[in-house]
């Protein structure tokens, strides 16, 4: 099977512009015609292996610069799956993973889907409970990420409704209430007891009432109203999007349907062109955008991670929401940033520093094991419990972009973006991280051989046996 074609015109153009080269100049260095290079940068022609290597050398780029983001994520996930002790006999085949992902992507996807189903069933049996596995959430999350967190038809429909009804950001709460009342005959009533039931809102179509918890923050209510409008008015577009994807179960499809209604709500609160223009003008200052649109910190961050309209793209961001225990509650990425399947995220990530200083923005330069540097912005979010015994949830979000886009943001001010030593060495989580000299490691990397018989004692009571690990992964003994 032929290697999957890689279209990386945008990344090549950005690297060329950073190097200060014109198309004709780079074409000459690559020994190709200017018209051929123009077609590559316009994504009309793919990059060949020869041109990728040559461009990386000419433009002084890391080897992974042109790697396909989805391909890299699949490779990481497949490596994690194969690190299960179940596949101990396959340790020497790790070097074949990249070839499998490139040359047989559908087979790799099928294997990973089968393994996830097996892992979920095994976990269910261990717990001896009837709780359904979380696999449907993972499937929906992967689907949304495969679309780069952007759904064009819903995004444009939300933008059109905002314009047609002449909604305004700072009066949107009353605008949406009026729209529900006049268009659907639904009135909004505040119902304090809902939160005690674990509910934020409840729609009663028979009585024409939307009950909303009494102590909701204004921006939260706006999102819920927009979500309900999406359910009522965009069923056709939502179902059309669902038909384009084959889900493993009806439960998964239902979760995807809810995710699309949520997407519409975010797009209605923060309409694309208006928000894109404001974000660029504010240099992506999240707090300024909050005030301008009457949104929460989390809502602005999440919307920024969806700004991938082909004819008007924003900065490709990744977005993560986590609690203080390290449980990832929400994640999405328009970048190559890789998330681990198992275990908690890296403790060097600045999202955990945010919990030590609630409400303050934490800025971090970080470098991942694949030699990609990111600018990360983290802060705690959420609201107080409203009462002493309410036990408010401690959560934080982090928004990150590759360092090549960092200068467009206000958060790069005062940072040395050219100094690799200024970046913290973070990873996807200890079980998937290949760094062997990290003093913050909690568990060994999966699939690695350990050396516990040395006359040394480091920060952890073992060392990764590099020679044995390389032999396992490559089949060659390191002398």
In the predicted model, what is the mean pLDDT of residues 266-281? Answer: 97
Position 135 pLDDT exceeds 70: no
Position 11 pLDDT exceeds 70: yes
Please state the domain extents for the chain.
Answer: 9-58, 72-126, 134-295, 315-428
Per-residue model confidence as pLDDT tens digits over 382-435: 765 556 656 667 899 999 999 989 999 999 999 988 887 888 888 877 777 777
Highest mean pLDDT among 192-196, 200-204, 335-339: 200-204
Cβ contact 246:318 at 8 Å: no
In the predicted model, what is the mean pLDDT of residues 282-293? Answer: 97
Angle, CA 237 vertex, CA 231 and CA 243 arms, to 5°: 110
Per-residue model confidence as pLDDT tens digits over 71-113: 666 776 787 777 666 776 665 565 677 777 767 778 888 888 8
**pLDDT score at 477:** 46
If residue 367 lies in a helix (H) or strand (E), which one and from where to where?
strand 362-367
Q: Name the one residue in this structure whose structure tokens are 């109203």.
A: 225
Same topology, domains 9-58 and 315-428? Answer is no
CATH topology of domain 9-58: 434 Repressor (Amino-terminal Domain) (1.10.260)
Judge if pTM exceeds 0.85. Answer: no
If residue 373 lies in a helix (H) or strand (E), which one and from where to where?
strand 373-381
Position 209 pLDDT exceeds 80: yes
Position 144 pLDDT exceeds 60: yes
**pLDDT score at 459:** 58
Please count the other Cβ atoms lying within 10 Å of the Cβ belonging to residue 222. 26
**pLDDT score at 17:** 84
Per-residue confidence band for 248, with pLDDT thresholds at 50, 70 and 90: confident
In the predicted model, what is the mean pLDDT of residues 2-14? Answer: 71
Least confident of 216-225, 233-242, 306-315, 469-478: 469-478
What's the chain's average pLDDT? 82
**pLDDT score at 376:** 94
Per-residue confidence band for 455, with pLDDT thresholds at 50, 70 and 90: low
Burial 190-211 (b: 16+ CB within 10 A, else e): ebeebbeeeeebebeeeeeebb
**pLDDT score at 351:** 85
Per-residue confidence band for 123, with pLDDT thresholds at 50, 70 and 90: low
Q: How far is CA 139 from CA 136, 200, 243, 253, 320, in A?
A: 5, 25, 15, 10, 17
Q: What DSSP designation does 311 have?
A: T
Position 326 pLDDT exceeds 70: yes
Cβ contact 427:346 at 8 Å: yes
Considering only the C-alpha atoms of the chain, give the largest distance between any 2 of them, rounded to a whole number of Å: 78
Higher per-residue confidence, 132 vs 253 = 253
**pLDDT score at 479:** 44
In the predicted model, what is the mean pLDDT of residues 200-215? Answer: 90
What lies within 8 Å, CB to CB, of 41 at 6+ separation is 9, 10, 12, 13, 16, 23
**pLDDT score at 476:** 41
In the predicted model, what is the mean pLDDT of residues 332-350? Answer: 71
Per-residue confidence band for 132, with pLDDT thresholds at 50, 70 and 90: very low
Per-residue model confidence as pLDDT tens digits over 28-50: 999 999 999 988 888 788 888 78
Percent of the chain at pLDDT exceeding 70: 79
In the predicted model, what is the mean pLDDT of residues 209-232? Answer: 92
CATH of 315-428, one of 2.40.50, 3.40.720, 1.10.3470, 3.30.450: 3.30.450
């Amino acid at each position: 099977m032929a290697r999957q074609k890689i279209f990386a015109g945008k990344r090549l153009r950005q690297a060329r512009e950073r190097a200060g080269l014109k198309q004709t100049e780079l074409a000459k260095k690559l020994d190709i015609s200017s018209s051929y290079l123009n077609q590559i940068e316009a994504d009309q022609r793919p990059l060949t292996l020869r041109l990728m290597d040559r461009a990386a050398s000419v433009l002084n780029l890391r080897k992974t610069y042109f790697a396909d983001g989805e391909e890299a994520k699949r490779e990481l996930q497949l490596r994690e799956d194969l690190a299960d002790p179940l596949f101990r006999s396959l340790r020497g085949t790790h070097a074949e993973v990249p070839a499998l992902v490139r040359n047989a992507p559908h087979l790799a996807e099928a294997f990973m889907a089968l393994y996830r189903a097996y892992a979920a069933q095994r976990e269910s049996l261990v717990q001896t409970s009837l709780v359904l596995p979380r696999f449907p959430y993972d499937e929906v999350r992967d689907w949304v990420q495969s679309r780069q967190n952007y759904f064009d038809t819903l995004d444009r429909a939300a933008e059109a409704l905002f314009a047609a009804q002449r909604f305004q950001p700072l009066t949107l709460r009353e605008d949406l209430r009026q729209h529900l009342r006049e268009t659907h005959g639904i009135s909004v009533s505040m119902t304090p007891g809902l939160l005690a039931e674990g509910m934020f809102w409840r729609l009663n179509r028979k009585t024409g009432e939307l009950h909303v918890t009494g102590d909701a923050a204004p921006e939260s209510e706006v999102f819920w109203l927009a979500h309900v409008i999406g359910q009522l008015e965009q069923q056709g577009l939502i179902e059309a999007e669902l038909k384009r994807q084959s889900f493993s179960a009806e439960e998964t499809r239902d979760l995807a349907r809810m995710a699309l209604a949520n997407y519409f709500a975010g797009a209605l609160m923060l309409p694309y062109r208006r928000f894109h223009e404001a974000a660029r003008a504010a240099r992506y200052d999240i707090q300024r955008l909050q005030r301008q649109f009457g949104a929460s910190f989390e809502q602005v961050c999440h919307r920024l991670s969806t700004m991938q309209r082909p004819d008007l793209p924003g900065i490709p961001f990744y977005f993560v929401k986590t609690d203080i225990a390290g449980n990832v509650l929400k994640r999405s990425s328009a970048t190559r940033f890789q998330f681990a399947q198992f275990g908690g995220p890296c403790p060097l990530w600045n999202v955990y520093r945010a919990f030590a200083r609630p409400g303050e923005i934490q800025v971090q330069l970080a470098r991942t094991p694949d030699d990609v540097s990111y600018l990360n912005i983290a802060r705690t979010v959420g609201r107080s419990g409203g009462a002493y015994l309410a036990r408010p949830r401690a959560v934080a979000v982090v928004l990150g972009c590759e360092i090549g886009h960092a200068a467009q943001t206000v958060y790069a001010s005062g940072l040395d973006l050219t100094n690799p030593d200024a970046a913290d060495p973070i990873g996807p989580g200890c079980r998937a991280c290949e760094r062997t000299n990290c003093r913050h490691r909690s568990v060994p990397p999966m699939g690695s051989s350990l050396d516990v018989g040395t006359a040394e004692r480091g920060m952890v009571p073992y060392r990764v046996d590099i020679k044995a690990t390389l032999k396992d992964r490559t089949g060659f003994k390191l002398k």
